[in-house]
Amino acid sequence: MEEYQGVWVFIEQSEGEIAGVSLELLGAGRQLADKLEVSLAGVLLGDNVRELSTQVIGHGADIVYMIDDPVLKYYRTESYMKGVNYLAQKYKPEIFLYGATPNGKDLASAVATDLSTGLTADTTMLDVDVEKRLLEASRPAFGGNIMATILCKKNRPQMATVRPKVIKALPFDGVRMGEVVDETIDLREEDMRTKVLEIVKDVTKTASLADAHVIVCGGKGMGDLEGFKLIHELADTIGASVGGTRDVIEAGWLPHELQIGQTGETVTPKIYFAIGLSGAIQHVVGMKNSELIIAINKDPNSPIFEAATYGIVGDAFEVVPKLIEQFKQIRVKQGGEVSYV
């Protein structure tokens, strides 16, 4: 196992744009590599991606392992897996991190199977036991208000997918130096069993939550679909986006893409309203990095108050209508529709 050395990050890119989570992982990987006193490498696959290596190095990598090939234009499990497996078998990293995105999870699952190694899904905290050289990948354990640290003691590389937006990226450093290792493998389009015909960007759905400055999120404390209308009403009044907890999505009060939490979106708005939700850890990991968190809940012991900047212990059905009323009065005072922007 001693032959396995170094920390790797899979650099996910689409049409020449690096995914935010990959830059975040370079920040996290940098810390792990420094603790272990090894180098940090980014693994960059794609078509015409050479220029992106500057960004990978500028955000913390010492080495970029690159395979630049037209067959890698779009992400496909079979071609990307082949490339990544080749690199991992040749250079033998001890730790290998991927973003917990659809493509990152897909790739990591295939690579872990081929390398017969352990893979921890949807990690939200990373650390290393320096002495044992063990990656400590922690994630919320299902249902409960508890985290589990997963270890992979006997197999290498130790792999994990990591949730977007739980770690901050390092600022870009234009003078950082690094090495680009160019590799080629034998990839033929005619061998591929999948073809990507078209990528359709849909900015109206998930992106609206990911980019929102203000989010109003409701939980099952809103009672039913009728009660949940109050969440929409507040959001409409202040020009915010609406989100829901896992319970709310399971109950069908909101579509899946508006779920916030471990299995939904991770969000970091400027203002986050958490209303009628208890703050289960699987929800909190998806919103705790918001700048200003306002919680409204009847139960003073709800864990959401620990995450909140300001808490109101009270009935949402009493507090929220009053809040809406206050905003409406502002509008009246200032005469008609007012935008502060």
> By CB under 8 A, is residue 23 in contact with other proteins?
no
When the beta carbons of 188 and 201 are compared against other proteins, the nearer one is 201
When the beta carbons of 8 and 75 are compared against other proteins, the nearer one is 75
- 275 vs 333: CA distance, rounded Å: 27
Beta bridge partners of residue 276, listed in sequence order: none
Q: Which residue, chain included where needed, has tokens 């991927």?
A: 98
When the beta carbons of 185 and 313 are compared against other proteins, the nearer one is 313
CB of 34 to other proteins, least distance (A): 22
Beta bridge partners of residue 42, listed in sequence order: 9, 64
- The annotation status of 281 as a binding-site residue, yes or no, is yes
- CB contact at 8 A, 114 and 81: yes
- The annotation status of 329 as a binding-site residue, yes or no, is no
Binding mask 223-252 for other proteins (x = CB under 8 A): -------------xxxxx-----xx--x--
Q: Residues 120 to 139: which contact other proteins by CB under 8 A?
A: 120-122, 134, 136, 138
CB of 204 to other proteins, least distance (A): 10
Burial 69-107 (b: 16+ CB within 10 A, else e): bebbebbbeebbbbbbebbbeebbbbbbbbbbbebbbbb
When the beta carbons of 39 and 227 are compared against other proteins, the nearer one is 227
Q: Which residue, chain included where needed, has tokens 């999120």?
A: 217
Q: Residues 25 to 54: which contact other proteins by CB under 8 A?
A: none
- The annotation status of 283 as a binding-site residue, yes or no, is yes
Q: How far is residue 16 CA from its own chain's centroid?
A: 19
CB of 72 to other proteins, least distance (A): 15
Task: Report residue 311 as tokens.
Answer: 């808490």
* Residue positions counted in the chain: 341
- 214 vs 212: CA distance, rounded Å: 6
For other proteins, which residue of 142, 168, 179, 189 counts as binding (CB under 8 A)? Answer: 142
Residues marked as binding? 245-246, 259-263, 276-283, 297
